[in-house]
C-alpha cells in the first residue's frame, strides 16, 4: 500500500464516522420532537379490539375497529366498527358502522354512518336487517335506540319508520313513528 491509498482509506473512515455521529445526533432530536407532540392527546390504536365482560367475568360482547383514538374529553372514537355478542350472551345481532364514539364512562356506544344490524335468527326465523344513519347502543343492557329514520327488512318484507327502540336480547323492536311498510306474500 502506498501513502495515497492509506490517506484515501483514512478519509473515507473519518467520513463514515462523522456521518454515523450526525445520524445519531439527528435521531435523538427526532425522538424528542415526537414525544413532545403527543403529550396530552390520549392514545390511538390500529386494529382495536374492546371486550365487554359481565359481572361474572365472562365475555358478553366484542367491539372491533380498524382505528381507535382517545379524545381530550376521554371519549374514544372508532372507525369501521363491528359489534358482536358472544354465543353465551344469546344475542343474535351483529352491528356494523362507519364511525362510533364510546362515552368516557364506557356505558354508551354511539354509532353513525351506514349503521346496519343483522340477525340470522331474526323475526319469523328469517334474516333481519336494520339500517339507520345513527344508533345508540348500551351493549351491557342489550338496548339499541335511535330517533333517526330506520329501514327494516325481514326476508322480502320491508318497513320504514322514524325512531326505534330495540331490545336485542329479547329480539324485539319497537318503531316510534311514521311507520310504513311493504309486505309481499
- pLDDT at residue 122 in the model: 67
Instruction: Give pLDDT tens digits for 7-53.
Output: 777 777 777 776 766 666 544 444 444 443 444 567 888 888 988 88
6 with 65, same domain: the answer is no
53 with 23, same domain: the answer is no
90 with 140, same domain: the answer is yes
CA distance 19 to 4: 22
Name the domain count of the chain. 2
Burial class of residue 160, CB neighbours in 10 A (0-12, 13-18, 19+): middle
150 with 72, same domain: the answer is yes
16 with 93, same domain: the answer is no
Q: Residue 21: give the domain boundaries.
A: 1-37
Q: Supply the CATH number for residue 140's domain.
A: 2.60.450.10
84 with 117, same domain: the answer is yes
Contact in structure between 58 and 88 (CB atoms under 8 Å): yes
156 with 74, same domain: the answer is yes
Q: Return all residues near 64 (Cβ < 8 A) that are at least 6 apart.
A: 47, 48, 49, 50, 81, 82, 84
1 with 50, same domain: the answer is no
1 with 89, same domain: the answer is no
80 with 29, same domain: the answer is no
176 with 106, same domain: the answer is yes
- pLDDT at residue 178 in the model: 87
- pLDDT at residue 53 in the model: 87
32 with 73, same domain: the answer is no
CA distance 59 to 81: 18
- pLDDT at residue 182 in the model: 73
- pLDDT at residue 65 in the model: 94
Query: For the chain, where are the E strands, in sequence order?
Result: 44-53, 59-70, 76-85, 93-102, 109-119, 128-138, 143-154, 157-167, 172-182
Contact in structure between 44 and 68 (CB atoms under 8 Å): yes
- pLDDT at residue 27 in the model: 47
Neighbours of 122 (CB within 10 A): 21
Q: pLDDT per position in the chain (185 positions), as tens?
A: 687 777 777 777 777 776 766 666 544 444 444 443 444 567 888 888 988 888 888 898 999 999 999 888 888 999 999 999 888 888 888 999 999 999 878 789 999 999 999 988 766 678 889 999 999 999 889 999 999 999 999 888 899 999 999 998 888 889 999 888 876 66
Amino acid at each position: 500500500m502506498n501513502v495515497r491509498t492509506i490517506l484515501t482509506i483514512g478519509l473515507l473512515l473519518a467520513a463514515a464516522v462523522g456521518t454515523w455521529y450526525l445520524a445519531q445526533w439527528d435521531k435523538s432530536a427526532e425522538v424528542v420532537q415526537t414525544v413532545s407532540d403527543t403529550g396530552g392527546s390520549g392514545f390511538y390504536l390500529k386494529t382495536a379490539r374492546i371486550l365487554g365482560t359481565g359481572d361474572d367475568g365472562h365475555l358478553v360482547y366484542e367491539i372491533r375497529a380498524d382505528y381507535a383514538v382517545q379524545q381530550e374529553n376521554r371519549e374514544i372514537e372508532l372507525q369501521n366498527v363491528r359489534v358482536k355478542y358472544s354465543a353465551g350472551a344469546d344475542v343474535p345481532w351483529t352491528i356494523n358502522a362507519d364511525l362510533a364514539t364510546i362515552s368516557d364512562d364506557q356505558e354508551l356506544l354511539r354509532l353513525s354512518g351506514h349503521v346496519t344490524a343483522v340477525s340470522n335468527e331474526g323475526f319469523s326465523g328469517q334474516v333481519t336487517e336494520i339500517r339507520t344513519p345513527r344508533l345508540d347502543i348500551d351493549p351491557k343492557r342489550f338496548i339499541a335506540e335511535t330517533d333517526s329514520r330506520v329501514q327494516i327488512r325481514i326476508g322480502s318484507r320491508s318497513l320504514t319508520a322514524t325512531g326505534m327502540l330495540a331490545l336485542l336480547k329479547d329480539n324485539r323492536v319497537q318503531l316510534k313513528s311514521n311507520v310504513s311498510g311493504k309486505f309481499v306474500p
